[in-house]
Structure 1
Amino acid sequence: MDTERAIRGPWVLVLLGGTAGTLARYGIDTAVPADGAFAPSTVFVNLVGSFALGLLLGSGPSSRLRLLVGTGFLGGFTTYSALAVQTDLLLRDGAVLLAVADPLVSVVGGAALAVAGFRLARGPA
């Protein structure tokens, strides 16, 4: 494989998008600090990211755009691993209601928003 072709490969799109998405999430995490074990920014980025992914996929993007924005940016932007850690910390702190509500809102709300974004991108049926 020649160097020029490797530089333009799909992995570069994922790398660039993931870097930008991670930096965007970091900016939001910094702007909206955690309140103890609960980080509202985690729920926010997961819900916004789910909606954005629905919009992206509903618009029928090229494979390169899916790699850059879907896999890269939104993969770096959303943070379900942080949600898992946050849920564990909430349980350890005895905040059971919040520990149940937090992932429920992120997962169920994220799925609903992804569908809404997809339908919005597709337009009226």
Structure 2
Amino acid sequence: MSVALVWLGVCALGGLGATARFVVDREVSRRASRPFPVGTLVVNISGALLLGFLAGLVLSPHLALLAGTGFVGSYTTFSTWMLETQRLAEERQIRSALANIVISVALGLPAAWLGQTLGAAL
């Protein structure tokens, strides 16, 4: 597979990942209707599960770049997570800001582990 094709694939899958993030975040947030960023939490935890799964599959370097960096990298969003945490803190919702960090890490690490375990089992 040529390097140019891999990068074109990363761009295409990146667009799909970003679109999926937008749709999932919007739908979850609409249903949750809370000031807590539940949509971003769902996106990042499901992304950790998916990236762990892909890691467990032990993909070729090109496929890992396409799926991991291209799709999952643009699906998950560290910057939005931090911005929302900062916004909660600025609004003096300190418990929610801390909860956003703790819950994300407490659920994200096991999700990545579970995904990797499932991927390795295949």
Q: 1:14 to 1:43 in 2, by over 3 A?
A: same
Residues 57 and 118, structure 1, Cα contact 8 Å, conserved in 2: yes
Instruction: Name the residue aligned to 1:58.
Output: 56
Cα distance per residue 1:33-57 (max 9 Å; x no partner) = 3746522110001000001011111
Instruction: Name the residue aligned to 1:33.
Output: 29
Residues 49 and 115, structure 2, Cα contact 8 Å, conserved in 1: yes
Cα distance per residue 1:98-124 (max 9 Å; x no partner) = 100112211232122111111122229
Question: Aligned to 2:11, which of 12, 15, 18?
Answer: 15
Cα distance in structure 2, aligned partners of 1:59 and 1:77: 19
Residues 37 and 89, structure 1, Cα contact 8 Å, conserved in 2: no
Q: Which one has a larger percent helix, Structure 1 or Structure 2?
A: 2
**Aligned residue pairs: how many?**
119
Question: Aligned to 2:108, which of 98, 107, 110?
Answer: 110
Displacement of 1:6 in angstroms is 6.0
Identity of aligned residues (%): 33
- Whichever residue aligns with residue 115 of structure 1, its letter is W
Cα distance in structure 1, aligned partners of 2:36 and 2:45: 16
Cα distance per residue 1:25-83 (max 9 Å; x no partner) = 01112223374652211000100000101111101112222111100100010011001
Unpaired runs of 5+ residues, structure 2, are none
TM-score, length of structure 1 as denominator length: 0.85
Greater mean deviation of Cα atoms: 52-61 or 111-120: 111-120
Residues 37 and 86, structure 1, Cα contact 8 Å, conserved in 2: no
Instruction: Name the residue aligned to 2:77.
Output: 79
Cα distance in structure 1, aligned partners of 2:117 and 2:3: 36
